[in-house]
Amino acid sequence: MILAFPSAGRADNLFRFYPEIAGSGFYGDNVPLRTQNEEGDFAGTLVGGFYLDFTSAARYASLHWDTFAQLFAQHSRFDRAGEGQFVRASDYENLSPTTKLRIDELFYRDAPTVAGIVTSDQAPQFNSVAAQLLLANDQASINQFTATLSHYWGRNWGSELAVHQTTFWNNGGTNNSQSNTSFEQSVSTFTEYHFSDRFSLGGGYRFYDFRFTFPGRPGEEAHWPFVKIGWEPLPRLYLSGIVGVVYSYTQGNNRQAVNVGGLGLAEYDRERLHLKLYGGQQPELTSGLGAAGNVQEVRGLVLYDFTRRLTGSAGGGYYQSNGTGFHGELISWGVGVSDRLNKYLSVYTKFVQIRRNETTSSAFLPTGTQSGKEATGDYFIVGFTASVEAFRWSWQ
């Protein structure tokens, strides 16, 4: 993605195509991230795909696709090829000098082992998509669609309207042999005023609607009015966040709840140091069993450029999912070093540790008891990534 975003040049229209390949070898002491009978093994991962984009005065559009294959030294039953898929399509439209439209579509299908995500660039500061797939603990898929319309009313005023849908397919697990599908639809809007180039304040509202195919699971709704703030207290330090009260309602049983909702972002950049910290609590689909609830997450990443080519990294994440009949936690951390050998090729090595905790309530277990599961895995990884601009076509 980074290689595909340099300046498009002076041409009115530009089309580019980048084939890409990545490979890694790793050792994991708990390859399938099990709670018992852990199995360690050496394995190799090969990722192949492409990235293409189109740039013009009115729009920027891109398509990114990857798939992976894995071979294990001893446990061949975990071998996978072509089961994990990643697809992302984006379109940024300049409707006018003051009105912009952004459309994003993301599809991710995970193979049954955790190794596919561990060796990706998401580790160790997993985002909510990767965290949900890890907590699902089996082959699952997720699709996200977002359309955002922004408009600037003048030098100081700006507004945004966004619609979003997430579809989560869980193909069943140990305690839930029946596959199910979860849906989340949401609408969000806000307006803010820029008092200066370094401070803005505004307000907005989000509405969530959750639906499930799990038998007997009622739909849920959530309303979230919030205050939004953006602040740059120091040069190169940017802070932003939203905070408000979330009112949720479960259809069919009149169950209601009121919780605090908030999200925060802190970014700091110097010549060699780059830091990013994100976290908060918000309504979201929960993994494992089809449900909705409050999701708390914190993730951070620190990058330090030792030289123009050599970069060190350290990061981690905490993800907690609480819903009807399900509680899950994912804790991860890791360190690594990467070296860009040339414009097209990079090599890296890193260590990642993951701890997953899950609790399923008695209502969803045949025995009528509560099931708690905890698993920890350590992964040592070395690998490379390569991407080359194979085709370029520009015209006036």
* Digit-coded pLDDT (tens) for 169-189: 876 544 444 567 889 999 999
- Segments in the chain forming alpha helices (H): 115-118, 128-136
For 226, the token pair is 């919030």
Span 91-103, average pLDDT: 95
Q: Which amino acid is at 78?
A: F
Pairing mode of beta strands 345-360, 391-395 = unpaired
Dihedral sign (CA 109, 364, 175, 369): positive
Torsion angle in degrees (nearest 10) through CA of 72, 131, 91, 47:
-10
User: Could you tell me the domains of the chain?
Assistant: 13-395 (2.40.160)
Report pLDDT for 180.
77
Distance of alpha carbon 282 from alpha carbon 295, whole angstroms = 6
Under 8 Å between Cβ of 135 and 330: yes
**Average of per-residue pLDDT values in the chain:** 84
Distance from C-alpha of 8 to C-alpha of 14, rounded to nearest angstrom: 7
Structure-token pair, residue 317: 């994440």
Short-list 44, 4, 43, CA closest to 20: 4
User: What is the structure's pLDDT at 363?
Assistant: 46
Task: Specify the residue for token string 């990467």.
Answer: 338
**What distance in Å separates the CA atoms of residue 380 and residue 359, rounded to the nearest whole number?**
28
What single letter denotes the amino acid at residue 368? G
Residues 335, 138: Cα–Cα separation, whole Å: 26
The H or E element containing residue 137 is none
Looking at residue 340, its pLDDT comes to 94
Strands, E assignment, 4-79: 13-28, 41-56, 59-72
pLDDT of amino acid 325: 61
- Is residue 358 within 8 Å of residue 327, measured between CB atoms? yes
Within 8 A by CB and 6+ apart from 201, the residues are 192, 193, 195, 227, 228, 229, 230
Answer for the pair 226, 261: CB distance below 8 angstroms, yes or no: yes
Which tens digits make up the pLDDT trace of 3-55? 444 444 445 899 999 999 999 898 988 877 777 777 888 988 888 999 999 99
| Better pLDDT: 288 or 77 | 77
User: How far is it, in rounded angstroms, from Cα 360 to Cα 371?
Assistant: 5
Contact 49, 83 (CB under 8 A): no
First to last CA, the chain: 25
pLDDT at site 185: 94
Task: Quote the CA–CA distance of 235 and 395 in Å, as a whole number.
Answer: 40
Q: Are 205 and 188 in contact (CB under 8 A)?
A: yes
Mean pLDDT to the nearest integer, 191-202: 94
Residue 236 dihedral angles phi and psi, to the nearest 5°: 75, 5
Q: Is the pLDDT of residue 164 over 90?
A: yes
pLDDT of residue 361: 52
Indicate the burial class of 376 (C-beta count within 10 angstroms; 0-12, 13-18, 19 or more): middle
> Which tens digit of pLDDT belongs to each residue from 262-277?
999 999 998 899 999 9
Q: Given this model, what pLDDT does residue 336 score?
A: 92
Supply the DSSP symbol for 177.
-
| Contact assessment for residue 27 and residue 41, using Cβ atoms and an 8 Å cutoff | yes
Predicted local distance difference test score (pLDDT) of residue 338: 93
Q: Is the per-residue pLDDT at 224 higher than 90?
A: yes
Query: In this model, does residue 113 exceed pLDDT 60?
Result: no
Query: For residue 214, what pLDDT is reported?
Result: 76
Which pTM was predicted?
A: 0.82
Report the pLDDT averaged over residues 302-311: 94
Kindly report which listed range (123-137, 213-227, 268-282, 335-349) carries the lowest average pLDDT score. 123-137
Average pLDDT over residues 57-65: 94
φ and ψ of 172, to 5 deg = 95, 150
Which residues lie across from 354 on neighbouring strands?
332, 377
